[in-house]
């Protein structure tokens, strides 16, 4: 059965076009053109974004705590599997191992993906689910990974431009402050501005 599973990669997070206050987690098949948009909540989106942006929260978030707890107990996450789709809701399993036995834990897909990023383990999906819910990007939209950044492009670019007047030292201080306040969207925007300057230099 394993060889029939399709591996996915995380493209990023965007603001949901259909649900106010929600976000869309975008997954894509690793060797194909289909995308899977999954609507998730703000907390789960934050947990995923801070790993995609390589931000360090001042205190461990819930998924970081899970990882530390698992490591202390000798448990690792081997893979995540999206294995069901019912009434538009995706269901997942976290495949774990303690070195002697493997066991599966039922999970919301958003939590499973957040943990997969922290354990750096693969994400798989059952083929029939991808066939049912996958969206093929048209050639005119270009490459999704370039067109869809980890947060909504227009908002990120607007926020990033606000920081163009600050010095690098000021940006570093603001970045630390944003992280301490757990404002990861602002922190990501500041990082964008710093990366832009580094690219120009």
Q: In the chain, where are the structural domains located?
A: 2-147, 153-200
- pLDDT above 90 for 110: yes
User: What are the residues facing 10 on neighbouring strands?
Assistant: 27
Strand order in the sheet with 76-86: 102-108, 89-97, 76-86, 123-125, 6-15, 23-29, 34-40, 135-136
pLDDT at site 138: 52
Check whether 193 has a pLDDT greater than 80: no
What's the chain's average pLDDT? 81
Confidence of residue 113 (pLDDT cuts 50, 70, 90): very high
Reduced to 3 states (helix: H, G, I; strand: E, B; else coil), residue 189 is helix
User: Where does 2-147 sit in CATH, by number?
Assistant: 3.10.690.10
Question: Which pLDDT score, from 0 to 100, does residue 144 have?
Answer: 43
Listed in sequence order, the DSSP H helices in the chain are 42-52, 62-72, 109-119, 127-133, 144-147, 153-161, 168-180, 184-200
pLDDT digits (tens, 9 = 90+) for 37-91: 898 988 888 899 889 888 888 888 899 999 999 999 999 999 999 999 998 899 9
Distance from C-alpha of 110 to C-alpha of 180, rounded to nearest angstrom: 24
pLDDT above 50 (res 18): yes
Please report the pLDDT score of residue 142 as a whole number.
Answer: 44
pLDDT of residue 145: 42
More confident position, 110 or 193: 110
The arithmetic mean of pLDDT across residues 189-199, rounded, is: 74
Whether pLDDT at 93 is above 60: yes
Residue 13 and residue 52: Cα distance in Å, rounded? 9
Q: What's this model's pTM, rounded to 2 decimal places? A: 0.69
């Amino acid at each position: 059965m394993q060889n029939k599973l399709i591996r996915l990669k995380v493209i990023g997070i965007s603001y949901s076009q259909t649900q106010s206050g929600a976000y869309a987690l975008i997954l894509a098949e690793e060797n194909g053109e289909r995308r899977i948009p999954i609507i998730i909540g703000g907390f789960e989106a934050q947990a995923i974004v801070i790993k995609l942006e390589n931000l360090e929260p001042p205190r461990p978030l819930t998924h970081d705590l899970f990882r530390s707890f698992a490591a202390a107990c000798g448990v690792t996450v081997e893979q995540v599997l999206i294995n069901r789709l019912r009434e538009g809701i995706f269901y997942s399993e976290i495949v774990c191992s303690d070195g002697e036995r493997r066991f599966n834990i039922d999970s919301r897909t958003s939590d499973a993906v957040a943990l997969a990023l922290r354990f750096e383990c693969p994400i798989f999906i059952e083929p029939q689910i991808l066939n049912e819910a996958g969206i093929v990007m048209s050639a005119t939209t270009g490459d999704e990974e370039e067109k869809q950044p980890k947060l909504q492009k227009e908002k990120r670019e607007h926020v990033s431009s606000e920081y163009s007047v600050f010095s690098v030292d000021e940006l570093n201080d603001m970045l630390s402050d944003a992280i301490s306040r757990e404002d990861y969207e602002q922190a990501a925007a500041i990082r964008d501005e710093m990366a832009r300057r580094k690219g120009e230099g």
